[in-house]
């Protein structure tokens, strides 16, 4: 009958090559991690607020400016339809823009932190 080996040091779920909890906390308090968070927040928060404001404007116009939203632009296409489709367009543009931002600014910083943590283990 085989006996189970004792769990790795640092907890039952920790593999030997993983950083410890203390190392994660130390990195979390580092200036480099703070810069990564600032870079993320300076992009995500303003864009999120702008998108929510744009969405709420659409909803408010739909509820309270029926005459404007019902204005026909051409054929059966009115302002409400164009603005509604623009909601989808802005969603996809924001996702694309974030993807580019993350690849250029966030991923290199995160990869550097990850590599240093993995090398220190």
Domain map (residue ranges) of the chain: 21-120
pLDDT, position 4: 54
Q: What angle do CA 20, 25, 30 make, to 5 degrees?
A: 125
pLDDT, position 106: 93
Cα-Cα-Cα-Cα dihedral of 89, 90, 96, 102, to 10°? -170
Q: Which residues of the chain have pLDDT under 70?
A: 1-17, 121
Q: Where would I find the H helices in the chain?
A: 21-28, 31-64, 66-69, 79-101, 107-120
Instruction: Specify whether the CB–CB gap between 16 and 8 falls below 8 A.
Output: yes
């Amino acid at each position: 009958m085989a006996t189970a080996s004792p769990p790795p040091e640092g907890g039952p779920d920790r593999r030997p090559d993983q950083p410890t909890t203390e190392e994660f906390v130390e990195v979390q308090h580092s200036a480099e991690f703070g810069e990564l968070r600032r870079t993320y927040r300076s992009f995500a928060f303003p864009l999120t607020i702008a998108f929510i404001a744009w969405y709420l404007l659409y909803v408010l116009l739909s509820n309270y400016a029926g005459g404007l939203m019902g204005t026909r632009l051409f054929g059966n296409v009115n302002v409400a339809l164009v603005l509604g489709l623009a909601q989808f367009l802005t969603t996809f543009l924001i996702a694309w823009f974030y993807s580019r931002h993350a690849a250029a600014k966030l991923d290199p910083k995160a990869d550097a932190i990850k590599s240093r943590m993995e090398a220190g283990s």
